[in-house]
Chain A
């Protein structure tokens, strides 16, 4: 069974710092990997989706990389801002059989950026 781990569980930094959030998964047979943002009491906002054939994706100050063979992904946030404070979730989509496309989520990294 696919297991997704996110490190660290929580992170508190001053505004302006560059951040790296880590995600690892146990089964490399994935179709894609997605990073989400979740604000307290809210649903999920998709940030970046990386297909299994890709190495990275960028959107604004966010950059996500994928190393499928080693089962790792990182989310890089440049010049962090207080508005970036949220929980960041990593999810991988299964790539085989009856579970094709099913998402497996990590527990998330709770990020706090203080002014």
Chain B
């Protein structure tokens, strides 16, 4: 149990295009989902926290108009990188949990490369 999937696993796009990444909790209902970004040889940096049916809370320095997050259901959150640029190339990982006191379960990550 407690499986989180991400799609796609890898995406290459041209500069200026938008990319959508999906995060799904497959066997539980996630009231909260998190989006992280990881640059090479760096740790995971939290980008935003999303609660089902509410607006996402973004970390300082993360542009909410560039990284659009939609948590429309208890099993799905999406991250859209709008007008992507090469500096947005990174490894994006989502996680999901049932409640504040529950463990977060992580997805396998999405490798984004912007040319």
Please give the residue numbers on chain A whose beta carbons come within 8 Å of chain B beta carbons, in ascending order.
Answer: 31-32, 34, 36, 41-44, 46, 49, 89, 100-103, 105-108
Name the contact of A44 in the complex, choosing from B46, B49, B101, B106 (C-beta under 8 A). B106
List chain B positions with a Cβ less than 8 A from chain A: 6, 32, 34, 42-46, 49, 91, 93, 95, 97, 99-109, 111
**CA–CA, A103 and B45, complex, Å:** 10
Q: Number of residue pairs across A and B with beta carbons under 8 Å? A: 47
Q: Which of A34, A46, A100, A108 contacts B43 (CB 8 A)?
A: A108
- The answer to whether B109 touches A43, judged by C-beta atoms less than 8 angstroms apart, is yes
Are A106 and B43 within 8 A (Cβ)? Answer: yes
Q: Are B101 and A103 in contact (CB under 8 A)?
A: no
Across-interface contacts of B102 in A (CB, < 8 A): 101
Q: A6 to chain B: closest CB distance in Å?
A: 9
Instruction: Please name 27 pairs of A and B residues whose Cβ atoms are closer than 8 Å in the assembled complex, sorted by A.
Output: A31-B101, A32-B103, A41-B91, A41-B111, A42-B109, A43-B6, A43-B107, A43-B108, A44-B93, A46-B103, A46-B105, A89-B43, A89-B44, A100-B100, A100-B101, A101-B97, A101-B99, A101-B101, A101-B102, A101-B104, A102-B49, A103-B34, A103-B46, A103-B95, A103-B104, A105-B45, A107-B42
Q: Do B43 and A107 touch (CB < 8 A)?
A: yes
- B111 proximity list for chain A (CB < 8 A): 41
Minimal Cβ-Cβ distance residue in A for B107: A43
Q: How far is the CB of B5 from chain A (nearest CB, A)?
A: 10
Task: List chain A residues, Cβ under 8 A from B46.
Answer: 102-103
- A residues in contact with B45, CB < 8 Å: 105
